């Protein structure tokens, strides 16, 4: 018998908002203020901080880019 190594598509688990794993969304926080992140798909896929800073982090190809330098300040 040979063991099969799970491929990335098998591990994706992207059944949550923006194709992100709900377990991931439950544990990640804003790197700036540690506030809760909320997924939105209005215009562009983003995770918006509901804490003090209100920054919006892009989600590219199903991967949240949680870098403050890549975030934008919503209007």
Domain ranges across the chain: 15-70
Three-state DSSP at 39 gives strand
pTM: 0.77
Residue for token pair 């804490």: 51
21 phi, psi to nearest 5 deg? -65, 125
Residue whose entry in the numeric block shows the structure tokens 């997924």: 39
Q: How far apart are CA 39 and CA 16, in angstroms?
A: 9
Give the CATH number of domain 15-70: 2.20.25
Per-residue pLDDT of the chain (75 residues; tens, 9 = 90+): 556 554 444 444 567 788 899 999 999 999 999 999 999 988 889 999 999 999 999 999 989 999 999 999 987
């Amino acid at each position: 018998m040979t063991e099969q190594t799970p491929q990335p598509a098998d591990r994706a688990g992207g059944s949550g908002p923006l194709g992100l794993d709900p377990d991931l969304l439950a544990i990640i926080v804003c790197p700036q203020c540690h506030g809760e992140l909320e997924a939105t798909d209005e215009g562009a896929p983003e995770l918006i901080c509901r804490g003090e800073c209100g920054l919006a982090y892009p989600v590219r190809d199903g991967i949240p880019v949680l870098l403050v330098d890549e975030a934008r300040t919503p209007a």
